């Protein structure tokens, strides 16, 4: 450990935190711009400050009264099995840094009165099926990188990974788990062979049950992850994609082009308003509603969000989801499915929205909380609802 260099890096970290305006932009984008403006920092400095930043925000709302560097030390202690920061600033903690997460939490509770339940905002509002203890502990470990292999590409991808000694875990036929930060862009033979898609997101496809020739609408398509999953799992579906943002639909077009998917329609639709202005009397055999939400099930990847969320923001998303639900189901055929998806852990965005949809004339066929925290993946909610006859 070079104490002089470490002290310089710690000063840079404090300056970085002072510069970061919470809520203005994602931490990942801020770090890119910060390092661009501080070109004197070498690759080791950038890598170290990035790690510290993410670990610092994994502490969420815990121990807010402590000084920045003390909070960083505790965050590093929880997230790592070795840390120069802990060794320098709190040698006593350093002696137990290889303890289990349960052991570390007990030690911090005794020494700092640390309560892990304070880390995550509105923890009392999470879905009933969520194991709060396991979920909270999962926040101190970075989620994995998950790939969905395109049909027929399995052997090409696996041979490339094995030849280059890249560790992976195979989950089913088409899902691979790799350590986050694994670089695959350099392998030309892998281009077009996979999509980066979280394990839980891939599992939502089990609820589609589409058939060739059916008309489906991905109502909040964004960059097209669920649409690609639908089209590659159920070829022959007639697909409409829509989003309120034209820029994100351009991203979708690029992804579809790379996947050689050409036969689809796209429309810019604001689903807070009546979509029949654009869709007319068009109806669908299936609707995917990957609803705008808090994103709380993905905060293991974007931990800075834990310090930016509030009950008011939760109410905003709940109201938005209800307006969208009311508008899209007008275009669903009777006895056909609406697939409701969120990447949220809050009951108000999940089970309570299913209850709301039932009041609108849908019946629940099946639903589940996809417990990504058990697999170093995102936690999501998915429900398959069927439209009742009038």
Q: What is the pLDDT of residues 118-148, one digit of tens each?
A: 999 999 999 999 999 999 999 999 999 999 9
Tell me: do 371 and 320 sit in the same domain: yes
Of 366, 313, 317, residue with least CA distance to 337:
366
Quick one: average pLDDT of 269-277? 96
Tell me: do 164 and 44 sit in the same domain: no
What integer pLDDT is reported at residue 22 of this predicted model?
74
Binding-site residues, in ranges, read 243, 270, 290
For residue 25, name the pLDDT band (cuts at 50, 70, 90): confident
Tell me: do 114 and 215 sit in the same domain: no
Residue pLDDT, tens place only, 94-110: 999 999 999 999 999 99
Q: How many separate domains does the chain show?
A: 3
Catalogue the active-site residues.
343
What is the rounded distance in angstroms from the CA atom of residue 46 to the CA atom of residue 31? 9
What integer pLDDT is reported at residue 23 of this predicted model?
72
Is 126 a member of any domain? Answer: no
What integer pLDDT is reported at residue 351 of this predicted model?
98
**End-to-end Cα, the chain, rounded Å:** 72
What integer pLDDT is reported at residue 144 of this predicted model?
98
- Give the DSSP per-residue string, 349-384: GTHHHHHHHHHTTEEEEEEEEE-GGGTTS--EEEEE
Of 98, 51, 64, residue with least CA distance to 78:
98
Binding-site residues for S-adenosyl-L-methionine, in ranges, read 243, 270, 290
Higher per-residue pLDDT: 201 or 152: 201
Tell me: do 168 and 110 sit in the same domain: no
Tell me: do 293 and 364 sit in the same domain: yes
Tell me: do 207 and 192 sit in the same domain: no
What DSSP character marks residue 169?
E
Of 230, 245, 240, residue with least CA distance to 195:
230
Is 131 a member of any domain? Answer: no
Q: Find out whether 333 and 285 touch, Cβ atoms under 8 Å.
A: yes
Alpha-carbon distances of 129 from 245, 301, 339, rounded to whole Å:
34, 22, 19
What integer pLDDT is reported at residue 24 of this predicted model?
77
Q: Token pair for residue 145? A: 């990188």
Q: Is the pLDDT of residue 2 over 90?
A: no
Is 239 a member of any domain? Answer: yes
For residue 84, name the pLDDT band (cuts at 50, 70, 90): very high
CATH at residue 235:
3.40.50.150
Residue pLDDT, tens place only, 254-269: 999 988 899 999 999 9
What is the rounded distance in angstroms from the CA atom of residue 351 to the CA atom of residue 372? 17
Q: Is the pLDDT of residue 3 over 90?
A: no
Is 129 a member of any domain? Answer: no
Task: Print the SS3 string covering 342-356.
Answer: ECCCEHHHCHHHHHH
Tell me: do 65 and 106 sit in the same domain: yes
For residue 364, name the pLDDT band (cuts at 50, 70, 90): very high
Q: Token pair for residue 260? A: 């050689």
Tell me: do 307 and 253 sit in the same domain: yes
- pTM comes to 0.95
Tell me: do 110 and 256 sit in the same domain: no
CATH at residue 172:
3.30.70
Tell me: do 225 and 327 sit in the same domain: yes
Handedness of CA 287, 291, 295, 301 (dihedral sign): positive
Phi, psi of 377 (to 5 degrees): -130, 175
What integer pLDDT is reported at residue 156 of this predicted model?
95
What integer pLDDT is reported at residue 390 of this predicted model?
78
High-pLDDT (> 90) share of the chain, %: 94
What integer pLDDT is reported at residue 6 of this predicted model?
94
Alpha helix positions (H), the chain: 3-19, 27-37, 43-58, 68-79, 84-89, 91-94, 101-112, 132-138, 154-163, 199-203, 225-233, 246-258, 276-279, 311-328, 351-359
What is the rounded distance in angstroms from the CA atom of residue 84 to the CA atom of residue 47? 14
Q: Which of 76, 101, 119 is the last residue of a domain?
A: 119
Q: Which of 79, 101, 119 is the last residue of a domain?
A: 119
Q: Is the pLDDT of residue 111 over 90?
A: yes
Tell me: do 357 and 246 sit in the same domain: yes
Q: Find out whether 325 and 317 touch, Cβ atoms under 8 Å.
A: no
When the pLDDT of each residue in the chain is averaged and rounded to a whole number, the result is 96
Tell me: do 271 and 175 sit in the same domain: no
Is 127 a member of any domain? Answer: no
Q: Token pair for residue 277? A: 């202005």
Q: Token pair for residue 294? A: 């808090």
Q: Which residues span the domain enclosing 11?
A: 3-119
């Amino acid at each position: 450990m070079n104490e002089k260099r470490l002290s310089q890096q710690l000063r840079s970290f404090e300056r970085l935190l002072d510069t970061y305006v919470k809520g203005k932009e994602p931490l990942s984008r801020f770090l890119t711009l910060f390092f661009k403006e501080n070109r004197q920092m070498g690759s080791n400095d950038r890598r170290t400050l990035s790690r510290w930043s993410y670990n610092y925000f994994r502490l969420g709302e815990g121990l807010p009264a402590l000084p920045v560097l003390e909070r960083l030390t505790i965050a590093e202690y929880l997230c790592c099995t070795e840390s120069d920061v802990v060794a320098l600033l709190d040698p006593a903690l350093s002696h137990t840094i290889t303890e289990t997460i349960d052991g570390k939490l007990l030690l911090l509770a005794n020494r700092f009165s640390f309560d892990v339940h304070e880390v995550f905002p509105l923890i009392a509002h999470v879905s009933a099926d969520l194991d709060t203890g396991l979920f909270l502990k999962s926040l101190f470990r970075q989620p994995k990188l998950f790939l969905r292999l395109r049909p027929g590409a399995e052997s090409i991808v696996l041979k490339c990974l094995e030849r280059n000694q890249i560790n992976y875990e195979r989950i089913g036929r088409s899902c691979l788990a790799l350590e986050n930060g694994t670089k695959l862009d350099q392998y030309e033979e892998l281009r077009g062979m996979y999509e980066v898609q979280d394990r839980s997101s891939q599992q939502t496809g089990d609820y589609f049950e589409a058939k060739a020739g059916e008309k489906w609408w991905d109502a909040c398509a964004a960059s097209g992850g669920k649409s690609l999953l639908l089209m590659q799992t159920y070829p022959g579906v007639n697909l409409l994609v829509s989003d309120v943002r034209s820029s994100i639909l351009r991203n979708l077009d690029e992804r579809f082009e790379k996947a050689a998917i050409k036969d689809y329609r796209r429309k810019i639709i604001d689903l807070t308003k009546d979509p029949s202005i654009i869709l007319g009397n068009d109806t669908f055999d299936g609707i995917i509603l990957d609803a705008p939400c808090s994103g709380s099930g993905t905060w293991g990847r974007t931990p800075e969000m834990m310090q930016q969320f509030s009950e008011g923001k939760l109410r905003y998303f709940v109201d938005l989801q209800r307006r969208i639900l009311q508008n899209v189901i007008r275009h669903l055929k009777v006895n056909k499915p609406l697939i409701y998806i969120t990447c949220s852990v809050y009951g108000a965005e999940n089970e309570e929205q299913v209850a709301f949809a039932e009041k609108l004339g849908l019946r629940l066929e099946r639903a589940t909380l996809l417990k990504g925290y058990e697999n170093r993946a995102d936690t999501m909610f998915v429900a398959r609802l069927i439209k009742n006859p009038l």
